[in-house]
Amino acid sequence: MSRFVLITPSSDFEQKLRLAVAGGLQGHVKSLPASVLGGDPSSVLDQLALEQPEVLVFGPGIALEDALRLAIIVDVKFPEVSVVLVHEDHPEIALQAMRAGVRDILTPLADVASIRAQLERACQAFATRQRTETQLPRKKQNGRVIGVFSPKGGVGKTTIATNLAVGLGKMAPMSVVIVDLDLQFGDVGTGLYLNPEYSVLDAVSGAATQDSMVLKAFLTPHSSGIYALCGPRNPADADRISSEQITRLIQQLALEFRFVVVDTGPGLTEPSLAALEQCTDAVWVTAMDVPSVRGLRTGLDVLNQLNLMPKARHVVLNFADTKTGLSVQDIEATLMAPVDISVPRSRAITMATNRGVPLLQDRVRDPATKSMTDLVERFDERAAPPRKLHRRVVVR
């Protein structure tokens, strides 16, 4: 057992850290080579399980992305361990580190006394978290899986999904993940202005299918406080992902996150049906035109026949406009279900989509923002339930 584990190729920093520990701290230092970050994360986790450290230090000379990727896994697997990153302090890096579970950042030029003080604080934090974990054991519960569906394309489904995820992220920071299951032409990454290194294909392959801690390393953090799992870059990769893999993926994520938002492709594809079976809630999106409304009605009929309808459903009328020749009553009569949320046609949504910044991320003052917020509030478990779950909306 070692109280401190250090990963770095820098012998100079290792020497300073060992001097800091020897000068007034109890415990031993275990040094691991930087090469362990490039291999299978399970080997590092096995080492940590064996050493049972209080503090894990990512020293200088290792790639930041490698350190943060492992920090995410360690934060979930060993939440009581204090992770310290040795790096130049920069606001953007500090934000990334915080989201990855890093407890503190130490400058590479720190002297022995500063390192000792930092390690002492990290050990105190470990003791506090360990005591809290012992007193208040956490129960593992499945999160809420919210699928966003539409039989027709072009109805703004991804815009609804990304805004919903960002809105839920304000309610439950770092407890929301959005999954892009439009496996051929998904736009979640574009809608969130992300350039992800990994995709759904990585998350349903290899060690990630057996260990949810490894799975989290394939998620892309977003500045709004949510995680994203984007679709494959090559549309041909969609054929390499089975319905069984999607089912397993959603089940894993539901164990790790409070909210799992699933953006599906148009139509009732196999990935969409696999996701639907795991959903606690379904958000049905339609535009204010006859083909979209009829397509949704047909889709709902099919799903009812297959007994695949989640208990909770929410109908969103997108691009709502009084000049389309249709009324809310016409749409509800066709769907044989009430419309719950009406999102007006808005230039602000178009601009936000083109920028890759969801409307709810910037809180733009616009009627569409109010509608999106109303949709998010339907999933706020802290709020008192409304007298009527489904109320007739008004299109202005």
pLDDT in tens, 326-377: 888 999 999 988 999 999 999 999 899 899 999 999 878 899 999 999 999 9
**Alpha carbon separation from 217 to 7, 121, 138 (Å, rounded):** 18, 27, 22
Q: What is the rounded average pLDDT of the residues 297-305?
A: 89
Question: What is the tens place of the pLDDT at every residue in 153-201?
Answer: 889 999 999 999 999 999 998 899 999 999 988 899 999 999 888 899 9
Confidence of residue 7 (pLDDT cuts 50, 70, 90): very high
Q: What is the rounded average pLDDT of the residues 223-248?
A: 91
Taking alpha carbons only, the member of 194, 206, 341, 184 closest to residue 271 is 184
Residue pair 326/293 in contact by the 8 Å Cβ criterion: yes
Q: Which domains can be identified in the chain, with CATH numbers? A: 4-135 (3.40.50.2300), 144-377 (3.40.50.300)
For the chain, percent of residues with pLDDT exceeding 70: 93
pLDDT computed for residue 385 by the predictor: 54
Concatenated DSSP letters of 177-229 = EEEEE-TTT--HHHHTT---S--HHHHTSGGGGT-HHHHHTTSEE-TTS-EEE
Residue given tokens 């639907």 in the structure block: 276
Taking alpha carbons only, the member of 119, 104, 112 closest to residue 20 is 112
pLDDT computed for residue 365 by the predictor: 86
Say how many residues make up the chain: 396
pLDDT computed for residue 326 by the predictor: 86
Taking alpha carbons only, the member of 166, 174, 148, 149 closest to residue 358 is 166
Confidence of residue 392 (pLDDT cuts 50, 70, 90): low
More confident residue, 133 or 269: 269
**Strand, helix or coil at 135?**
helix
Question: What is the tens place of the pLDDT at every residue in 50-90?
Answer: 888 999 999 999 999 889 888 888 887 888 899 999 998 77
Q: What is the rounded average pLDDT of the residues 227-256?
A: 92
